[in-house]
Amino acid sequence: MKGLMKDLLLDKAFKEALERASNTHLQFPPDLKLHFYAYYKRAMGDNVGHGLEDSDRSKLIGAFKMNALFQIKSLSQDDAKQKYIDLVNQHIPE
């Protein structure tokens, strides 16, 4: 029961952090955006970039995204959720 409660609290905190991040009007530098992206994708269990187009700019962005995902591939989904929550708490005031 303890593990289930912990999972439910983490999921609730992740959902709240996601909502804050989705509704912010703050602008972030590209490297920070990549951290948000990678932790989110890993937390959701998705380690593959989607929607990449054929332009050179899109290929470059896709390469940065894949690199960000590669750097955190050893994180569990729960650890990625916590890292995402920590990032939101650090950079997006309530």
pLDDT at 48: 57
Q: How many domains does the chain have?
A: 1
pLDDT of residue 61: 84
Within 13 Å of residue 45, how many CA atoms lie on the same side as its CB? 0
Full-model pTM: 0.84
Q: Which pLDDT score, from 0 to 100, does residue 50 have?
A: 53
Element spanning 38, H or E = helix 30-43
Start-to-end CA distance of the chain, whole Å, equals: 30
Query: What does the pLDDT look like over 45-73, one tens digit per residue?
Result: 976 555 545 677 788 888 899 999 999 99
Quote the percentage of the chain above a pLDDT of 70: 89
Average predicted confidence (pLDDT) for the chain: 89
Q: In this structure, what CATH number is given to the domain that contains residue 81? A: 1.20.80.10
Give the whole-angstrom CA distance, residue 13 versus residue 9.
Answer: 6
At residue 36 the predicted structure's pLDDT band, cuts being 50, 70 and 90, is very high
| Domain range for 12 | 2-91
Burial class (CB in 10 A: 0-12, 13-18, 19+), 68: buried
